Amino acid sequence: MTATPPSVTRTSGIVVSGLVVETARHHVPVVADVAFEIRSGTVMGLVGESGSGKSTVSVALLGHARRGLRIADGEVRVDGQDILAMTEQELRRSRGRLVSYVPQDPASSLNPGLRVGSQLTEALTIHPDALAAGQPALARVHEVLDEVGLAPTRQLLDSYPHQLSGGQQQRVAIAMAFVCRPRLIVLDEPTTGLDVTTQRRVLDTVRQLTQRHQVASVYVSHDLAVVAGIADQTAVMYAGRIIESGPTAEIFRSARHPYTAGLFRAAPSARRTTLLVGIEGRPPRPGRWPQGCGFASRCPQAQDDCLPAVPSLTSVGPDHVARCLHPLPSDAIAHANPPVPPSPGHSGSALAVSGLVAHYGSTEVLHGVDLTVPAGCCTAVVGESGSGKTTLARCIAGLHQVWRGKLSYAGTALDPLPQRRSEDERRVLQYVFQNPYASLNPRTSVGANIEEPLRYFTALSARDRRERVLRVLDDVALSADFADRMPDQLSGGERQRVAVGRALSVDPELLICDEITSALDVSVQALLVEQLRRLQHERGLSMLFITHNLAVVRSIAQHVVVVSRGSVVEQGPVEHVLDNPQHPYTIQLLADLPHLEPTA
């Protein structure tokens, strides 16, 4: 029998008012005038592009500010207690018991030197009042592991974090957040990088525990479909301020702020094949906020009266407010983006894979994989984490050499060892890696990064190489002045476009894209996807697009290959596979896929 939890005073939940976070040295605001309420037992989604202030707000709810920042003003009341008025000692006692946090990377919240059971028990040792009368700490640990869908076996309790999968680590992190029965839980992008099946389990867990324990939860994300599936209310941030908020169903049905509507136009649909329309430009950086409406420079609706002063939040519907002098009509996003134009016809196969078997040591990870990439077309490879997608891509590129089978490009067999491939074979197959922060040389400029393969694969003069660099930057929608910037001066989306440009600089015929949109904002993702489609049509470029995002597949690929546990279980034209899946695994993937239509 589950022990009765200790009594907790239940009030309205969370009330945030007048929250201001600024730089500690120059007192420049990073977050300003943030206010909202969250009822106990509900989830609020906090969305916006990178740099909008989402994460700054999320940690401020815990009474914390990142290095170089300070909380300058405001109140964060959790069941009537003001977190921001607490002393440092009181804050330490409240964290874990009154407020709790789940970071994006579970590895950063779990101690690699302690076993899972010890970490969960340690939290209860610090907060013994979280236990019901007479309840042993281990009993509560078993209880919370059951709640997050992990069997509390001795093997699990004795495991170190690195011995668990990413999904298991994230559920342990959620268990740690809930184990002391806090009143507020902040979840900062906890499903980024997870495949859709694992993501669905994590989201269901958060939703159920929030309702069961009557917790107020804040879910920070740039994934609109995820927020639609978990949040009761949604707040949209831009340039450090909330620019629209209201019930999730209302926001997703009739967004009134041009920025919110722009996010929806950029979001791929799991049910419709549409063009993605990104928001051009970049959000203003903290300390460089323009006078007046922060979105005016990117807004097609901007007028002269948007510039003198920051607009106030005004009511645009029941419990629905927007910070806009010229809100959009309620049906502005009701019309779907235009459909993707058909791909130009091409004949022949660029890449053919037959009977590919790959190993890591003695473990076979790919089992007789067969697929083709038609010339001038995009073939997407989808599947959950660990299914073998990236191993397949690395075999094709020559980055993984322990494989057997047949691999040919344009009818010519490719050797497993890259040093045995001809220079032209290495040139025509170019690889774009998942992490844009690790794929560029941080010690050389953007121009030098793009120029490097030109030094190896071409005999161009320095002047011609410079011209090629500038032309490539234009191809990926970056201005010429980016050539002289350093990678650390660029956003993640800009870095990824530079990485694509570097691959395109040597005129490849097949571009291998390995999860290149997984960590990008929805608007940046839309711009990158549409640029790749344009280049595909203009250059006749073939693409192998590795992803776990089936919604993106609809907008860029013509063919899709579904991989599970190292084997191809289904493949064919995108419309056939996604609209009429035949294999149980594909059916389950589509069932787990979040949709933009709210369900919370």
Question: Over the stretch 200-228, which tens digit does the pLDDT of each residue have?
Answer: 888 888 899 999 989 999 999 988 989 99
In angstroms, the CA 31 to CA 536 distance is 41
Of the candidates 296, 311, 339, which is a domain's last residue? Answer: 339
H or E stretch covering 93: helix 88-94
**Does 169 share its domain with 207?**
yes
If asked whether residues 363 and 335 sit together in one domain, one would say no
Angle, in degrees to the nearest 10, between helices 522-539 and 492-504: 10
Domain end (from 315, 339, 363): 339
The overall average pLDDT reported for the chain is 89
> Per residue in 322-350, pLDDT tens?
999 999 998 877 555 666 666 655 556 78
Which CATH number goes with the domain that contains 524?
3.40.50.300
Residues 107 and 193 in one domain: yes
Answer with the one of 294, 320, 339 that is the final residue of a domain: 339
**Are 48 and 102 contained in the same domain?**
yes
Q: Give the pair of three-digit tokens for residue 328.
A: 């959009």
pLDDT the model gives residue 4 = 40
Q: What are the CA-CA distances from residue 243 to residues 33, 296, 304, 320 (Å)? A: 11, 12, 19, 11
Rounded CA gap, 516 and 495, in Å? Answer: 11
Are residues 51 and 70 located together in one domain of the fold? Answer: yes
Which amino acid is residue 468, in one-letter code? R
The tens digit of pLDDT for each residue in 346-380 reads 556 789 999 999 999 899 999 999 999 998 899 99
The answer to whether 548 touches 196, Cβ cutoff 8 Å, is: yes
**What is the per-residue pLDDT for 489?**
85
pLDDT band at 550 (very low <50, low <70, confident <90, very high): confident
At residue 341, the pLDDT reads 65
Residue 456 resides in a domain: no
Note whether 243 and 257 are within 8 A (CB).
Answer: yes
Pair 77, 175 in one domain:
yes
Nearest Cα to Cα of residue 293 among 275, 306, 303, 283: 306
Beta-ladder partners of 317: 320
What percent of the chain lies above the pLDDT cut of 90?
61
**pLDDT of the residue at 463:** 95
Distance of CA 564 to the CA centre of its chain: 22
> Given this model, what pLDDT does residue 61 score?
95
The first and second tokens of residue 234, run together, are 């949604």
Tell me the angle at which helices 258-266 and 522-539 cross, rounded to the nearest 10 degrees. 50
Q: Is the pLDDT of residue 233 over 80?
A: yes
CA dihedral 531, 534, 539, 545 (to 10 degrees): 60
Q: Please report the pLDDT score of residue 3 as a whole number.
A: 42
Q: What is the mean pLDDT of residues 377-396?
A: 91
User: What's the whole-number mean pLDDT along residues 225-232?
Assistant: 92
Same domain, 358 and 306: no
Confidence of residue 498 (pLDDT cuts 50, 70, 90): very high
User: What is the domain count for the chain?
Assistant: 3
Give the number of other CB atoms < 10 A from CB of residue 74: 19
pLDDT the model gives residue 366 = 96
The CA-based diameter of the chain, rounded to the nearest angstrom, is 79
Confidence of residue 5 (pLDDT cuts 50, 70, 90): very low
In which order are the strands placed within the sheet that holds 349-360? 363-374, 349-360, 403-409, 412-413
Nearest to residue 82, comparing CAs of 17, 20, 8? 17
Q: Using the Cα atoms of residue 164, residue 169, residue 171 and residue 175 in order, give the sign of their dihedral.
A: positive
- The parent domain of residue 282 ranges over 257-339
Alpha carbon 183 to its chain's center:
26
Residues 513 and 385 in one domain: yes
How far is Cα of residue 102 from the mean position of the Cα atoms in its chain? Answer: 15
Q: Confidence band (pLDDT; 50, 70, 90) for 600?
A: low
Residue 490 located in a structural domain: no
Euclidean distance between CA atoms 552 and 250, whole angstroms: 25
Confidence of residue 85 (pLDDT cuts 50, 70, 90): very high
Residue 30 lies in a domain: yes
Please indicate, yes or no, whether residues 386 and 300 belong to a single structural domain of this protein.
no
Residue 475 is assigned to a structural domain of this protein:
no
Under 8 Å between Cβ of 416 and 403: yes
Q: Are residues 173 and 40 in the same domain?
A: yes
Q: Which helix (H) or strand (E) holds 465?
A: helix 462-475
* Ranges of H-type helices in 149-307: 154-157, 166-178, 196-212, 224-230, 248-253, 258-266
Rounded to a whole number of angstroms, the distance between the first and last alpha carbons of the chain is 30
Beta bridge partners of residue 380, listed in sequence order:
545, 560
pLDDT at position 7: 36
Nearest to 318 by CA among 249, 257, 247, 232: 247
270 lies in the same domain as 368: no
Same domain for 262 and 334? yes
Please check whether residue 267 is in contact with residue 528, taking contact to mean a CB–CB distance below 8 angstroms.
Answer: no
Given a contact cutoff of 8 angstroms between Cβ atoms, the answer to whether 529 and 380 are in contact is: no
Examine residue 497 and state whether it is found in any structural domain, yes or no.
Answer: no
pLDDT of amino acid 479: 86
The count of C-alpha atoms lying within 13 angstroms of the C-alpha of 562, restricted to the half-sphere facing its C-beta, is 20
**Does residue 386 lie in a domain region?**
yes
Three-point CA angle 491, 492, 496, nearest 5° = 115
Confidence at residue 254, expressed as pLDDT on a 0 to 100 scale: 92
Least confident stretch, 502-511, 569-578, 588-597 = 588-597
- Please tell me the predicted confidence (pLDDT) of residue 335: 52
**Is the pLDDT higher at 195 or at 529?**
529
Q: What is the pTM of this model?
A: 0.84
| Residue found by looking up tokens 């300070």 in the block | 70
- Segment 499-524 shows an average pLDDT of 89
* C-alpha of 213 from chain center: 27
Percent of the chain with pLDDT over 70: 95
In a domain, 200, yes or no: yes
Please tell me which residue, 137 or 8, carries the higher pLDDT value. Answer: 137
User: What is the chain's Cα-based Rg?
Assistant: 25
Tell whether 245 is covered by a domain: no
